[in-house]
């Protein structure tokens, strides 16, 4: 395969060859881990079974988390664009990443940008605005991040003392500012983001600052989940089983008594498609390797979030958007099939508004004009069609209707009555969920 020019047909043929040995496992995994057998029993007002009743069953939402970041919420020039962005987002997702980048939300010492009426800042909407939006649309928010030791203009703020040994009181106060307003209101927090990204000229940090940060977070956010979140190179690239840097980091935090409730695994395939073809076909992103890595980290017994995803559609290739769509579909199927994975988070919903020069990869699901790319349509088919359950059922003589459905919230309609039911993820794949509905009529 040429290094500077990529033919879509040839690449996709080779990609499908890499996927083929794992298709059976993926399909079986989706069925076993994302669906349950359900017995739905109908009774009348006297508690007697209702036989021969027709039940229209419609899934309304997923138990599994699908999301993206919220950084462009309200960030477009016109109301029409902002409304379209929200419409596209909420059609696909039930989860969102809420930015807490320290220099953006405290640009001057003591000047916090949490309130909805805070001064606008590009790609950094006020936290209260984002949480109000989440509440209005049923989105589960996750905080990103409490601390990040990089100097790429993201964190830490420039007003901190020049001597990092003096940072701890400021970090503690920063955590307290967030906890005072938001503890208990988000699903979880990336406490320290990208431990291994200290090579970007970051000054020497206080010894064991990472464990110390988790200890502070444990005290201040006692009921919230605390996550680690690491860049893709240290997750998929530098994977050496129990000797992997990320494995050793998690093990070390736990050894020091830190509470770690979940594992974030980034998946930014940085590069245009012709530049990363070999990585996808032969190296760290090949399907079999990804399953091996997931199997390994599942050994910690913690939920895994595929926490930040970028897959390019740009490059020296024909049909780049079609290639992005097939890759997105197959990766989502692979991740969704794995029992340890709890959430899948695409990073930037639309092209044109990524950080720095990352926009050149065109890694969004929407074009700059917010029209759907083939990748958006592919994920819409999976999330809203292939992975949703809709059935017409009839109860038997015992008043029971049986079905196998994806985990989530449902409407069950019998005549003029509609009841909300929930099919929860089972602790045992073969376990049957039993639900009883008492009809009013």
**Between residues 150 and 160, the one the model is more confident about:** 160
**Residue 426: per-residue pLDDT:** 76
- Bridge partners for 344 per DSSP: 66, 306
Average pLDDT, integer, range 187-208: 82
Q: What is the mean pLDDT of residues 142-159?
A: 84
Which of 177-181, 199-203, 360-364, 387-391 has the least mean pLDDT?
199-203
pLDDT at 300 over 50: yes
CA distance 237 to 233: 5
The band of 199, judged by pLDDT with boundaries at 50, 70 and 90, is low
Cα separation, 395 vs 54, whole angstroms: 7
Tens of pLDDT along 232-280?
A: 999 999 999 999 999 999 999 999 999 999 999 999 999 999 999 999 9
Looking at residue 2, what is its pLDDT?
42
pLDDT, mean over the chain: 95
Beta strands in 148-197 (DSSP E): 188-193
The structure tokens listed for 313 are 């559609």
Is pTM beyond 0.75? Reply is: yes
Residue 203 pLDDT > 70: no
How many percent of the chain have pLDDT more than 90?
90
* Structure confidence at residue 432 (pLDDT): 92
Closest CA to 73 of 22, 7, 165, 141: 141
Predicted local confidence at residue 198, as pLDDT: 72
Mean pLDDT calculated for residue range 153-159: 79
Which carries the bigger pLDDT value, residue 292 or residue 154?
Answer: 292
pLDDT tens profile 372-413: 999 999 999 999 999 999 999 999 999 999 999 999 999 999
From 150-159, 267-276, 409-418, the region with the lowest mean pLDDT: 150-159
pLDDT at 392: 98
pLDDT band at 1 (very low <50, low <70, confident <90, very high): very low
Q: Is 408 helix (H, G, I), strand (E, B) or coil?
A: strand
Domains of the chain, earliest start first = 62-386 (3.20.20.80)
Handedness of CA 131, 132, 137, 138 (dihedral sign): positive
Q: Which residue in 168, 197, 438 sits closest to 308, CA to CA?
A: 197
**Band of the pLDDT at 150, cuts 50, 70, 90?**
confident
Q: What is the mean pLDDT of residues 39-59?
A: 97
What share of the chain has pLDDT > 70, as a percent? 96
Residues 6+ apart with CB under 8 A from 274: 3, 4, 5, 6, 315, 316, 317
Give φ, ψ of 188 to 5 degrees. 175, 180
Residue 285 has pLDDT above 80, yes or no: yes
Are 143 and 189 contacting, i.e. CB atoms less than 8 angstroms apart?
A: yes
In what order do the strands lie in the sheet containing 54-62? 390-394, 54-62, 408-414, 417-423
């Amino acid at each position: 395969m040429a290094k500077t020019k990529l033919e879509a047909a040839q690449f996709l043929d080779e990609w499908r060859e890499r996927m083929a040995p794992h298709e059976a496992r993926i399909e079986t995994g989706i069925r076993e881990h994302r669906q349950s057998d359900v017995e739905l029993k109908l009774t009348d007002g006297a508690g007697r079974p209702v036989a021969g009743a027709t039940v229209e069953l419609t899934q309304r939402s997923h138990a599994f988390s699908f999301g993206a970041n919220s950084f462009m919420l309200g960030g477009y020039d016109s109301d029409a664009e902002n409304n379209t962005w929200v419409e596209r987002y909420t059609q696909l997702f039930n989860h969102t990443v809420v930015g807490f980048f320290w220099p953006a939300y405290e640009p001057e010492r003591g000047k916090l940008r949490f309130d909805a009426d805070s001064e606008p800042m590009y790609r950094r909407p006020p936290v209260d605005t984002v949480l109000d939006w989440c509440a209005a649309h049923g989105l589960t928010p996750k905080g990103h991040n409490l601390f990040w030791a990089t100097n790429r203009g993201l964190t830490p703020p420039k007003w901190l003392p020049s001597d990092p040994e003096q940072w701890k009181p400021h970090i503690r106060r920063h955590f307290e500012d967030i906890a005072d307003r938001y503890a208990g209101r988000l699903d979880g927090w990336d406490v320290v983001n990208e431990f291994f990204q200290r090579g970007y000229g970051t000054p020497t940090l206080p010894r064991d600052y990472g464990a110390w940060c988790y200890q502070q977070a444990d005290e201040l956010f006692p009921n919230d989940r605390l996550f680690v979140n690491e860049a893709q190179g240290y997750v998929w690239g530098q994977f050496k089983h129990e000797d992997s840097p990320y494995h050793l980091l998690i093990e070390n935090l736990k050894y020091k008594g830190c509470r770690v409730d979940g594992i974030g695994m980034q998946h930014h395939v940085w590069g245009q498609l012709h530049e990363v073809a070999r990585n996808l076909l032969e190296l760290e992103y090949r399907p079999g390797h990804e399953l091996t890595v997931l199997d390994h980290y599942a050994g910690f017994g913690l939920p895994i979030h595929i926490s930040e995803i970028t897959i390019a559609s740009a490059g020296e290739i024909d049909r780049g958007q079609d290639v992005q769509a097939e890759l997105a579909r197959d990766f989502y199927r692979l991740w969704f099939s794995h029992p340890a994975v709890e959430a899948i988070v695409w990073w930037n919903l639309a092209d044109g508004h990524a950080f720095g020069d990352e926009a050149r990869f065109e890694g969004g699901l929407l074009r700059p004009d917010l029209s759907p790319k083939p990748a958006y349509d592919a994920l819409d088919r999976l999330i809203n069609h292939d992975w949703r359950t809709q059935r017409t059922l009839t109860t038997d003589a015992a008043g029971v209707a049986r079905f196998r459905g994806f985990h989530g919230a449902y409407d069950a309609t019998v005549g003029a009555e509609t009841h909300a039911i929930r099919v929860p993820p089972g602790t045992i794949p073969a376990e049957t969920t039993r639900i009883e509905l008492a009809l009013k009529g």
